[in-house]
């Protein structure tokens, strides 16, 4: 059994704690340095950093899982590397090659192995890769220098409740513009979501759900996860839109729903006035895993899906399949699991 630090593993939630090491690499004069692990969790940057003024920041979210035999699994880290490359390109930032990204992730996981929640606790080690524009700048143009870092924290459920359904509020605000940065994992999308998110929390909802910014008739996504619904005739449907974040979990579920559960699957428009078609609904993402949605408040109407207190049977099956693969209990499709 590998050694772990003393933590309340069963009740971790999703909060920052300082772990021992983080990866740090700088880009200067057109190239990345070799990157190192450091114990310092403070970032020292110029007051002229574009990250501070113009939102030149991108990030990723991924997890390492402790398996029953004591191994450590990463789930589709190549997909995070590639999405980060697309996010960087959208903000005119340099990119990190996939092999360098995965190697850095492995270094961070190994160096903080004692913080990986033990197998059976449902926890995981959340990894937060990020890149920011730094250096002495002031005009609105790409930074002269960049910092790429990865830190990690042990986590449990993102939404209170885990597999117990929670409720969501359709927001009047837009998360992203039609042709904006919605599909990139950039800081600005999240800064703009703080107010709608806080309004939802104040009214006891888990988070805001956004409608499409052009017609305000179709569900886009949750502030921190994608949306899916299971129709009464067992079809897995998830919104298709150029302004939502292409969730790696969502694409994994599209595959698993079809290939492992034998469901019909579809990425298509999900009209907010057609929620009646769904027997079950959920939010999916790295942090959210699969979080069942009990009900959705839209203006004056509160629409309940399967139940406000119990997870639906298909959502439960998808959860078992996905987390079974992540924790190494269920055979994974080719290339999905990378061992540390
Ligand atoms: N949508 C948003 C806005 C997110 O922040 C996230 C989290 O990464 C997701 C969806 C889910 O994406 P993934 O499954 O790749 O973690
Ligand atoms: C993730 O699931 O990794 C996210 O980025 C969601 C949220 C914590 C921002």
Domain boundary assignment for the chain: 9-155, 166-326
DSSP conformation class of 1: -
pLDDT tops 90 at residue 139: yes
* Cα 203 to averaged position of ligand 2 atoms, centre (Å): 22
The span from the CA of 314 to the CA of 53, in Å, is: 45
pLDDT for res 4: 85
* Domains 9-155 and 166-326 equal at CATH topology level: no
Taking all residues of the chain, what is their mean pLDDT, rounded to a whole number?
Answer: 96
- Per the annotation, the verdict on 185 as an active-site residue is yes
Q: Over the stretch 35-65, which tens digit does the pLDDT of each residue have?
A: 999 999 999 999 999 999 999 999 999 999 9
pLDDT tops 90 at residue 2: no
Average pLDDT over residues 137-145: 96
Q: Tell if the pTM clears 0.85, that is, is over it.
A: yes
Q: Over the stretch 243-279, which tens digit does the pLDDT of each residue have?
A: 999 999 999 999 999 999 999 999 999 999 999 999 9
283 close to 226: Cβ distance less than 8 angstroms: yes
Q: Which sign does the torsion angle of CA 277, 245, 252, 110 carry?
A: negative
Domain at 166-326, CATH homologous superfamily: D-amino Acid Aminotransferase, subunit A, domain 2 (3.20.10.10)
DSSP states along 294-311: EEEEETTEEEE-S-SSS-
Q: What Å distances lie between residue 236 and 258, 262, 283, CA to CA? A: 8, 10, 13
165: left (phi over 0), alpha (psi -120 to 50) or beta: beta
CATH number listed for the domain at residues 9-155: 3.30.470.10
Q: Over the stretch 112-133, which tens digit does the pLDDT of each residue have?
A: 999 999 999 989 999 999 999 9
Q: Extract the tokens encoding 88.
A: 């960087």
* Cα 244 to averaged position of ligand 1 atoms, centre (Å): 9
Q: Is 285 in the pocket of ligand 2 (CB under 6 A)?
A: yes
The protein residue with its alpha carbon nearest to ligand 2, atom 8, reads 287
Torsion of CA 158, 161, 162, 164, to 10 degrees: -150
For ligand 2, pick from 153, 197, 286 the residue to mutate: most ligand atoms within 8 Å of CB: 286
Q: Over the stretch 150-200, which tens digit does the pLDDT of each residue have?
A: 999 999 988 877 789 999 999 999 999 999 999 999 999 999 999 999 999
């Amino acid at each position: 059994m590998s050694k772990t630090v003393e933590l309340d593993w069963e009740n971790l939630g999703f909060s920052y704690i300082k772990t021992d090491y983080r990866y740090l690499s700088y880009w200067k004069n057109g190239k990345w340095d070799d990157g190192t692990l450091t114990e310092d969790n403070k970032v020292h940057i110029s007051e002229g950093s574009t990250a501070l003024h113009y939102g030149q920041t991108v990030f990723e979210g991924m997890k390492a899982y402790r398996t029953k035999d004591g191994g450590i699994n990463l789930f589709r880290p190549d997909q995070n590397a590639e999405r980060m490359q697309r996010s960087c390109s959208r903000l005119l930032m340099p990119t990190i090659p996939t092999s360098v990204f995965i190697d850095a992730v492995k270094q961070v996981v190994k160096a903080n192995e004692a913080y990986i929640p033990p197998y059976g606790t449902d926890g995981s080690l959340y990894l937060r890769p990020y890149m920011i524009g730094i250096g002495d700048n002031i005009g609105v143009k790409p930074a002269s220098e960049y910092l790429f870092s990865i830190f990690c924290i042990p986590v449990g459920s993102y939404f209170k409740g885990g597999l117990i359904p929670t409720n969501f509020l359709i927001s009047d605000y837009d998360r992203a513009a039609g042709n904006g940065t919605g599909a990139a994992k950039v800081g600005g999308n999240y800064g703009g979501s703080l107010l709608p998110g806080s309004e939802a929390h104040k009214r006891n909802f888990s988070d805001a759900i956004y409608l499409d910014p052009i017609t305000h008739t179709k569900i886009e996504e949750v502030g921190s996860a994608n949306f899916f619904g299971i129709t009464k005739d067992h079809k897995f449907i998830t919104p298709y839109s150029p302004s939502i974040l292409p969730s790696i979990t969502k694409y994994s579920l599209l595959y698993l729903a079809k290939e492992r559960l034998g469901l019909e699957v579809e990425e298509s428009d999900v009209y907010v006035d057609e929620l009646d078609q769904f027997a079950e609904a959920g939010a999916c993402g790295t942090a959210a895993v699969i979080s069942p949605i009990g009900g959705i408040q839209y203006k004056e109407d509160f629409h309940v899906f399967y139940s406000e207190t119990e997870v639906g049977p298909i959502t439960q099956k998808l959860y078992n399949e996905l987390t079974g693969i992540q924790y190494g209990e269920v055979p994974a499709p080719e290339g999905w699991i990378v061992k540390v």
